[in-house]
Amino acid sequence: MDGHDQMAYDRGTSIFSPDGRLYQVEYAREAVKRGSSTVGVKTPAGVVLAVDKHVGSALVEGESVEKLHAVDDHLAAASAGHVADGRRLVDFLRRDAQRDRLRYGEAIDARTATRRVSDLVQAYTQFGGARPFGAAVLIAGVDPDGTPRLYETDPSGTVDGWRAVAVGADRGDVQSFLEESYDAGMDLDGGVSLALRAVSVPKETPPDVTEVAVATVDAESRTVDVLDDDAVAAHLDELSADADGDADGEAGDDDVAGGDAGDGDAGGE
């Protein structure tokens, strides 16, 4: 393949290269990786979504950063990647949810909502005239029987169900943290704490309350609750206190170890 052929496959939104790649979809996935971290955690009591809002200036109004959305009473979504693309997909989800309520008189389930939006995303990889969506979306919901659900759809239109998942920047590190720390029996507060800890992994320090947003979907009430700043601050304070306690404990262990070594030297003398 010469350089001109490579450029042709590179520019086409719906043309496979000889080695079976859709370059524009791969570029869209790279756009997602450049987005700030977005985390979903499923627990028996419900689902948690947490996002790093990545406010670039102290003058930006934090609430104007749209990455976390209530879709329906029982359904929420969070995006990573191009914010505008994510908002377009969330608007589609909202219209679809309302259409089902009007047409069938019942709420759409999370799996159906995810399948429909993923069909839209996939269509933009199959037909010319528009580029793929440069966003990944996490969709959290609760089925009518009270079963929590967490799904991810990426720029190719692929759908995966998860117990805990990260998309956006440093996905590998954040996902590894989730795999090590996830507890299948945790309650909803535990899920919030885990999600906030996961979001802070790239920064290595707990985020400021203005830098994160958290929403929960409660399994019992089947309602979406976007946590206010006071609730998020309370969770962050608890995480900071736990981190300080762990640091003090490690320092204490070092002191004990040092004391034992000293006693051994004295005995030898």
Q: pLDDT tens across 55-108, in order? A: 666 676 766 677 899 999 999 999 999 989 999 999 999 999 999 999 999 999
| Highest mean pLDDT: which range of 11-20, 46-55, 144-153 | 144-153
Mean residue pLDDT across the chain = 85
Q: What DSSP assignment string belongs to 46-103?
A: EEEEEEE----STTS-GGG---EEEEETTEEEEEEE-HHHHHHHHHHHHHHHHHHHHH
pLDDT at 218 (0 to 100): 96
C-alpha to C-alpha distance for 269 and 267, rounded to whole angstroms: 5
pTM: 0.85
